[in-house]
A and B are shown apart, each in its own frame.
Chain A
Amino acid sequence: MSYVGSSVKRIEDRPLLTGEARFAADLSLPDQLHMRVVRSPVAHGRLLEVDTSEARSMDGVEAVWTGDDVREVPPIDFRMAWVEGLERFRQSILAADHVRYVGEPVAIVLAEDPYLAEDAAELVFAGIDELDPVVDPMAAGPAAIETTVVEKAYGDLEGAFGDAPVVVEMELAVGRHSGVPMETRGALACYDPLRSVLEMFGAAKVPHHNRAAIASMLGLPLGAVVLREGHVGGGFGIRGELYPEDVLVCLAALRLGRPIRWVEDRREHMLAANHSRDQVHRIRAAVESDGRIRGVIDEFWVDQGAYLRTHQVTVTELTTSMLPGPYAWPAYRSRGHVMLSNKTPCGTYRAPGRYESTFVRERLIEVIAHRLSLDSSEVRRRNLVPPERMPFERGIAALGTEVTYDSGDYPGLLDRTLEYLDYEQLTADLARRRSDGERVGLGMGFFVEKSGLGPFDGVRVTVDEAGQVLVVTGVASIGQGVETVLAQVCADALGVGIESVRVRHGQTDDLAYGMGAFASRVTVMSGSATLIAARRVRRKAVDVAASVLEADPDDLTIDRGRVFVRGSPGGPAITLGEVARRLRPGLTAGEPGLTAEGWFTVDHMVYPYGIHAAVVRVDPDSGQVEVERLVVAYEVGKAVNPELVHGQIAGGAAQGIGGALLEDFAYDESGQPLAATFMDYLMPTVAEMPDVEVLLLEEAPSPANPLGVKGAGEGGITAVGAAVANAVAEALGRPEEVTRLPLGPERVRRIAAGVA
């Protein structure tokens, strides 16, 4: 039987379901101190003094540090950098001279217990000379700081717009929301004199990168820092990036020689961990009267918050390069202004740049269809990249690689989706319900995702003398099912039962290199590396077995951990454990051990694609939007574990509904956050979610990796905002007025009443 392609139960679930899991806040060490961060209460100001005397005088308070105490530590560097010369916008681990957002760390308290640390933190007084905050960088005029402009362009725009029969222009905006994982951040750092290493527990997503960054910031050799990932309660792009608190616990552990523990509370999380989205686009399309788009010009502004964090301008980069999505527009230009404001800094959040640009593009398509009195599906079809142009070179780069769509049949997916929806019947039903007075509508969004960002990842597969298999990977497991997927790939490639495979991840002393878990890359990169490593182990095992069994290696096969002559499972055989015993040092002339590493490197990403369709019903009195149906059609090349792909899509869809209808990090005019608790930052609950219908397609395997897979981590969210917005527009009979997410009830009611 083949594990790959079947919905194997998650092998990592037992500790999670039995309460044995160890999240960051579950960890403690003897003699530890607890860190509490003192945060700026104001959005913008000159930091005159930080008075720590009262806090320091409390019994049980070991130390209180301000920016002055950590001046030798450089700001947190970019993990991904696409534009030079932006270093001055990086964030220091403690504010030095200015505070620039509510929640910015200005001091830390280290105390014997967390209660005491929190009490003492209240006694730290930050004297701040308040300055005018920038809350809306587009309206702030010269006070707004534009860090850089990211531009991508191709084709003849002048020609496209010169005598265009129709030009459609819109302003569209996506609000500020973010990942908000169930587990807040947390870290436990200690210095281990036995091994002379600084060890930090609580890492996630990119442990190897953060190890290097912490070593560099604290002036330590790379080998003197070890990061450990435990169980992680969700990542979504924001958890696991390097933040000031990670560096502070490490610094304190070094200086004080005691373990330092820090656990973020939820309010801190809302203020301190990365926000995302928050874009305003002005987009213009030159269109033929049959709906074919000649060219598109987009200009947009990203409210990046107070600093450029580890992602630098990644979201803007992805927005500009992925905005054209599935369409073969002959000419295109997008210019993204990266603006600073006095709000929490931004990073990536599931489908960064694609959630936003898909909303913009697919609203535009809808309005073009309306202006030309065409069915929007037809407008989409007339602009799709045709299958015969695959692989399709866009002519622009994203994240340092050329955007080349690897494979796909976009019109085919549209047909499949319309067929699944029973499009004619559905639209007729909805029209009838509307004529009966209901406000119902169908909306769609077509999108292209990107996944499998390189350049490399590696895996070491080892079989011990009991026949147990260990897969060690440099990627991270943030809850997405890494262990199961890699075990499936390994078990098939090696010929063992999945119950004999263990997967270890996120330990920087396990493997010299590891890229981490982001950009829907793990199954593509680590899955492929696992395949390579397992095949090498298999080769080694077969060679040893061939000499023992006096058979031709090419005649041997491995099944359930036994090597035997193909077709003779009852004949002479040797177990993989026995093979491993024969590979002890001294017994073999070659490399000892039944083990091998596999490294997978790529130059290009792979591009899954899909369509979201939403049916909504609007209550005209309240403006409340109910999502009656949400369909996600998604082409992933090959689903290693269909059930896990379903889970990824359903979870993404829930977050997509949050961004479409509910979630919004609002601020008042003084820069005070208005949504810093779960009472005001509204995430969807199961009561707001329809059953997500998944149409999973595996018809365009990627030629770019040996598994044929395309990442499935983000396609559940990408077009939800677009589809829901288009559905609301249809439900209200207001095709052009839906221009801003989230579609909260008051906004929808105003649109319905025609006073938007």
Chain B
Amino acid sequence: MAPGYYTPAFMKPAPFDYHQARSVAEAVAHLGEYGYEAKILAGGQSLVPAMNFRLARPAVLVDINPLDELDYLEEDGDTLRIGAMVRHVTFERPVTEGPTGRLLAMAAHHVGHLPIRVRGTFGGSLAHADPAAEWCVIALLLDAELATRSPSGGRDIPAADFFQTVFTTALEPEELLVEARLPNLAPHTRIGFQQFSRRAGDFALTMAAVALEADDGPVANARIALGGVSDRPVRAGEAEQALEGQPATDESFRAAAEIAAQEFDAIGDIHGSADYRRDLVRALTRRALEQAIST
């Protein structure tokens, strides 16, 4: 008996119901109906593997891929408005002329591998809230505002309040993230982005994103955000303060990096202990600052 040559449908996830949303209102209505039972399917690059491992077991999937109304980029004065369904790959080339676009492009190249970037979305990454996700770090660095819609209306959540712990955000179960608003950094803002992963394309063990002004003299408006090192992306506030008004020198950068390495609750895993992550923060923060000032 010769076996036939066809592959049966082979589903890995636990059973779930599937709804394809035709509008934001409809998606939000589904969320209102199912609450905690439901998960939004955007690019699916984190959710679907988690479902295949049966680590995530949503009873209902609400697919928002058809929603073109969430796939937009708009510059609105000093603000860059990013629709939740914009794919990572969009940012590989600067989407604005200023430093914000360049910073997004620097980070975009570190997001997974190309097939992941083609499919995964900006909003999905923020809502998933992996502490090592590039967009979460950038959102925190730039004090982004995250806009939601829900059956009762919607609200704007500052990035600093949005990320709560691993895979956990301020989003309520019936709330859909629809837009991220990033400030367009002043044209003379210097930026740096550094990350370390064990292999190309892996989740970062540590990343450091910085923005500062230092054209003629001391450092101003220093921002430092770190990813992959704690249960959420973190701002290195004390290091930022330490830099403020200092000359942009190796010495001040080293000092700031040293402070940054100490001011968060570090996590460890099989790829690197908490102490090792502090070592990486020390190195990458310094490198990101040097990168910012030298470009």
Interface residues of A (CB under 8 A from B): 22, 25-30, 34, 113-115, 118-119, 122, 188, 190, 192, 194, 199, 201, 259, 263, 265, 267, 621-622, 624, 662, 664, 666, 674-675, 677, 679-680, 682, 684-685, 687-688, 744-746, 749
Contacts and interface: CB of A to CB of B under 8 A. Distances in A.
A261 to B, nearest CB: 8
Contacts of A118: 11-12
Given A22-B5, A29-B3, A192-B1, A265 B12 contact: yes
A281 B246 CA distance: 54
In this complex, the member of A28, A119, A621, A622 whose beta carbon has the largest number of chain B beta carbons within 10 angstroms is: A622
Contact of A682 (B53, B198, B283): B198
Nearest to B200: A687
Interface string B1-44: 10111111111101100000000000000000000000000000
A190 B9 contact: no
Interface stretch (B93-101, B117-125, B265-273): B265-273
Contact of A679 (B11, B203, B284): B203
Contact of B202 (A26, A30, A682): A682
Taking each of B9, B273, B280, which has the highest tally of chain A beta carbons within 10 Å of its own beta carbon? B280
B143 to A, nearest CB: 29
A664 B271 CA distance: 10
A114 B10 CA distance: 6
A6 to B, nearest CB: 34
B54 A122 contact: yes
B12 A744 contact: no
B279 interface: yes
16 contacts: A28-B6, A28-B8, A114-B8, A114-B10, A115-B11, A118-B11, A122-B54, A263-B10, A662-B199, A674-B270, A685-B200, A685-B201, A688-B199, A744-B271, A745-B196, A749-B279
A29 B1 contact: yes
Contacts of A190: 1
A622 B53 contact: no
Contacts of A680: 270-271
B196 A28 contact: no
B199 A744 contact: no
Contacts of A122: 14, 54
4 nearest CB pairs, A to B: A621-B283, A687-B200, A27-B3, A115-B11
A277 B53 CA distance: 27
B257 to A, nearest CB: 11
Given A34-B8, A687-B200, A749-B276, 16 more contacts: A28-B6, A29-B3, A113-B9, A114-B11, A118-B12, A621-B283, A621-B284, A622-B280, A680-B271, A682-B199, A682-B202, A684-B199, A687-B201, A744-B271, A746-B273, A749-B279
B291 to A, nearest CB: 14
A267 B198 contact: no
Contacts of B276: 745-746, 749
Which size bracket describes the interface of B in this complex?
20 to 34
A27 B5 contact: yes
Contacts of A677: 53
A622 B14 contact: no
Contacts of A28: 3-8
Contact of A621 (B5, B11, B198, B279): B279
B195 to A, nearest CB: 11
A29 B4 contact: yes
A201 B3 contact: yes
B278 to A, nearest CB: 12
B2 to A, nearest CB: 9
Nearest to B203: A679
A407 B7 CA distance: 50
B141 to A, nearest CB: 21
A384 to B, nearest CB: 37
Contacts of B200: 685, 687-688
A201 B10 CA distance: 19
Contacts of B198: 624, 662, 682, 744-745
Given A119-B15, A622-B280, A745 B8 contact: no
A99 B196 CA distance: 39
Contacts of A622: 196, 279-280, 283
Contacts of A263: 10
Contacts of B3: 27-29, 188, 201, 259
A122 B202 CA distance: 31
Contacts of A192: 1
Contacts of A621: 279-280, 282-284, 287
Nearest to A188: B3
A682 B272 CA distance: 13
Contacts of B7: 25-26, 28
Nearest to A230: B3
Contacts of A746: 271-273, 276
B208 to A, nearest CB: 12
A18 to B, nearest CB: 13
B8 to A, nearest CB: 6
Nearest to B4: A28
Given A26-B7, A680-B270, A119 B14 contact: yes
Contacts of A201: 3
Contacts of B279: 621-622, 749
Contacts of B53: 267, 677
B199 A685 contact: yes
B246 to A, nearest CB: 22
A664 B15 CA distance: 33
Contacts of B8: 28, 34, 113-114
Contacts of A664: 270
Contacts of B14: 119, 122
B214 to A, nearest CB: 23
A118 B10 CA distance: 10
A267 B54 CA distance: 11
Interface string B256-295: 0000000000000011110010011011100100000000
Nearest to B10: A114
